[in-house]
Structure 1
Amino acid sequence: MENYRPWLNFRGGWLVALSAAMIASPVIAETPNFGKFNLSPGFETAKAKFTGFTGGSFSLSAISNRDRDRNVCIGFADPKPDHIMVLEKDFSRLKVLVNSRGNDTTLLIKGPDDKTIRCGDDTGKSKDASIDDEQWKRGSYKIWVGAFKPGVKYDYTLIVQEK
């Protein structure tokens, strides 16, 4: 068996082996800009306040034009999520709101799967964004806090309330 090369008898040899190795490699978790937090039913609202600031020119509509309730997804933020919220159990209702002292903010929450999107804009007469919704399933949620205009920086507090 002169010049016997068993890997050549394997169709797609190296390409298939390389593809399998890449699939088996661990996925690196996306690190949020301002941190990750976990919530269980009965959490204290006082402990569910997180700070950050808007800024960026990434259009949140690139993630989704509309959310699961057909609300428009607008605003500009960093491409990385600002926060990751981990719900340790299902919640029947949650309210997530932004307090930037009335600046024009937006909100996009993606999770616990890649198909479930929630978007929020003005809250009543305030320009601060909020999302008040039902059926929050256990899992990880990526949260982007945006500004209505690109590149605008507003300091904010993100508040999560159990209803």
Structure 2
Amino acid sequence: MKLCRSQIALSLLCLAGLFTVVTSNPVTANNSFFGKISLSPNSEAVKKIVTGYTGGSYSLSAVSKRDRNKNLCIGFADPTPDHILVLEKDFSKLNIKVNSGGYDTTLLIVGPDDKTVRCGDDTGRSKDASINDSNWKAGEYKIWVGSFKASTRQNYKLSLQE
């Protein structure tokens, strides 16, 4: 099958236009699947619950092999964070827990800079992940909720509590 020069030129022009559309909308680090969560400490206990689902095949160990406390970073998620957490002020402590009904979930949190990483896996007897840590500085945190097995889709509730 032969194509004339005008058909080839038109095809190339269409491809160039498609490439321009795709590359002119860069993905920013602030994108997330399930949106932003804002927390500000006050005199009452702070607690937020958001929902989402796991399902990616991207290895979270590609983000970081270990966290700041030498915990392994494991599990699978999408390359884009599931949530963006915005801490409006410093928190002395924060507890972040996944509730998927007992499925094997993992957590990876990066922020407020790209050097501070926190990872969580099983919580006690539960296969659901949690991170209970101190010294949370004000700023933006990227949160990935992963599953132990790649491409496993599980609904979850993510709770954040002071």
TM bucket normalised to smaller? 0.7 to 0.9
Letter paired with 2:103: N
After TM superposition, list the pairs within 5 Å mapping 1:49-88 onto structure 2. Answer: 49-88=49-88
How much does 1:30 deviate? Answer: 3.1
Instruction: Give 1 or 2 for the bigger CA radius of gyration.
Output: 1
Match of 1:36 in 2: 36
1:117 aligns with 2:117: yes
In the alignment, the residues of structure 1 paired with residue 28 and residue 76 of structure 2 have an alpha-carbon distance, to the nearest angstrom, of: 25
In the alignment, the residues of structure 2 paired with residue 108 and residue 58 of structure 1 have an alpha-carbon distance, to the nearest angstrom, of: 13
Match of 2:103 in 1: 103
Q: Secondary structure at the match of 1:142?
A: strand
8 Å CA contact 1:30–1:80 kept in 2: the answer is no
| Deviation digits for residues 10-57 of structure 1 (CA, Å, limit 9, x no counterpart) | xxxxxxxxxxxxxxxx99453100010110003641xx1000000010
Match of 1:156 in 2: 156
**TM-score in terms of structure 1 length:** 0.80
8 Å CA contact 1:56–1:152 kept in 2: the answer is yes
In the alignment, the residues of structure 2 paired with residue 27 and residue 160 of structure 1 have an alpha-carbon distance, to the nearest angstrom, of: 26
In the alignment, the residues of structure 2 paired with residue 111 and residue 118 of structure 1 have an alpha-carbon distance, to the nearest angstrom, of: 9
116 and 49 in structure 1: CA distance in 2 versus 1, 3 angstrom threshold: same
Q: Secondary structure at the match of 1:61?
A: helix
| Deviation digits for residues 101-147 of structure 1 (CA, Å, limit 9, x no counterpart) | 01000000000000000000000000000000000000000000000
Letter paired with 2:66: R
After TM superposition, list the pairs within 5 Å mapping 1:8-27 onto structure 2. Answer: none
Overall identity of the aligned pairs, in %: 65
57 and 28 in structure 1: CA distance in 2 versus 1, 3 angstrom threshold: closer
Structure 2 unmatched runs, 5+: 1-25
Aligned residues: 135
Letter paired with 1:90: D
| Deviation digits for residues 38-86 of structure 1 (CA, Å, limit 9, x no counterpart) | 10003641xx100000001000000000000000000000100000000
In the alignment, the residues of structure 2 paired with residue 92 and residue 158 of structure 1 have an alpha-carbon distance, to the nearest angstrom, of: 20
**TM-score in terms of structure 2 length:** 0.80
Match of 1:136 in 2: 136
RMSD of the alignment, in Å? 1.5
Match of 2:127 in 1: 127
